[in-house]
Structure 1
């Protein structure tokens, strides 16, 4: 379209809005939505406000050029490249309606994730963001739409070469696993900020091995549970000359016992409130449920004893059962220290990791071993499907036959 043709078309979309008193341009963005842009008020020398001054039209043209909004070019559907061919640079009509600064978006994403991630995970995310953003800046990549799958692959090649230069080795799959931490950043831009491209991180890291739903989650044996409780008791009572801060607080033992006997996740346990308990049941509200559904689990005698003692210690006005920990990371750090020492001493045969969640796994596994029906355990655990709970089932075909002979019905 020639310049004068664009000017004539823009005159038709620029008008004086008597309601606001502004010259206004009505445009249609690449997402198909209409919006109004205020360009300025008429000057004192403008007798007829319905006559649009040239400087106002120029202002509207500059705004459209800066924000990549073209109101007079018809919408063209994006055609995917043939299979096996890398897509070329984005054409002008396929650029996003508003270019998103890459560094600003990554920093905003980091601040958002800092509210929920554990310290070690947040530290890893910080490292990935710093290295990826630094590489992009050195290569002149400033906006999110400039990051394509080819760019991501080039970054991974640079990372491999950099590790080799420093005399270190790292697997490509490990680098992809680190980089996949940024995938959600592009997903949010696509969902909430009208980003028009695809997710380049997910396109490259799609082949990462996911967790096998048929694998059996780690759980503690009765001997390992006894060793854990013994280590906690020792660190609660040991006399240290360095001061009371070296002793393990009582609330750590209480949280471990509660998680082993209720199957609560660590976030729900840390934020556990007295008003969640009703006699022999504990109801987890939506905001602390991973499935975003209310579910209930049991309160046995051990848990009831802890709740009564905590109520007596904290007073009748207390709301939280465990007000001491500021978040799940407080519990994780202490259990991490205990687990490492137990593995080192040989009382635990393996380092299972995610120690707070292993307590939940143990609860589910032991309930199934005790003969509680799979469907009932799934409800106690707050799982959205029985298939998730079935991963914890350790029974064999022989066990099923013996159970059917005892509990089955003869027809």
Structure 2
């Protein structure tokens, strides 16, 4: 009887000890976990870009003048050689009262010079008539040998000089007449208005077919030589420029595949790298850090389909596909940490965290390729905290 009681009390003591040990045992650490997967893997570089045209044409004013109103609007189609705007000479400037009075006096003076020139012409014509008659008289006397040859030459010279004087007087009359006409025209059109009569018009044509991309001037007015009026281009030349960090640009190669997203539609547009420019530039980031950027030019796979939605200067997201693989073992990058100069992860085994070294490969965003140390289907701890150590009990919560 006493032995039975002792056994009973012994069992009670063991149960109490077990309960006490269980109560004092630390609870499992709750952790987030992910399963090691095998599937397609893409290493890429993402960067924002802008659409542009490979070739565009700026139509400028070839000379200074007065621009007529530009009727073309942005988006209008033009053909090669089509007249896109017209120019005419500058209108004469308006004169103040003093300048107008001086112009009138100038016209009166020009008319007086014209009358004086005409009078001088009449005088020279009379002298020339007399010299011609004198020459005829002396010629008859010379035929009869009544005068010497020297005297005959002197009369001939006088006649010739008078003829030349008449031509000079005629030219002087023409010059005076032109001065009168110029002074009269200056007064007639010096009001700041364009004359009603027809003016010579310069028609400027586009060098290429396409669409009007930009209209720098629309209204009539004075324009200087070289000032831009229109910019013309064709959306078949649409391309994308992406300014990559130089450390990413060195990994990009010609003809590399690119996926265009983030342009506003659900479709992913296929493209390829046409050129990585050889010269970079410095750009200040939003945080005020100097960055070395390299322009990368991308061609659309189907530029006609892209042009249906996109235009010039549109924002897009470009994903450069640096490397692609099938059946690649991969885990979230957040599961990795450094342990004794090696990459390691915590693998969940029998409810406990087991430290394991792994060999990593390529990275793409939040995913890392695993070359060795893990098998498909194993569970690893993501974002391991200070409480997670080798052998610690864990309570994993799998996340996709």
User: Please, what TM-score do these two structures have when normalized by structure 2?
Assistant: 0.21
Larger radius of gyration: 2
What is the TM-score with the length of structure 1 in the denominator?
0.21
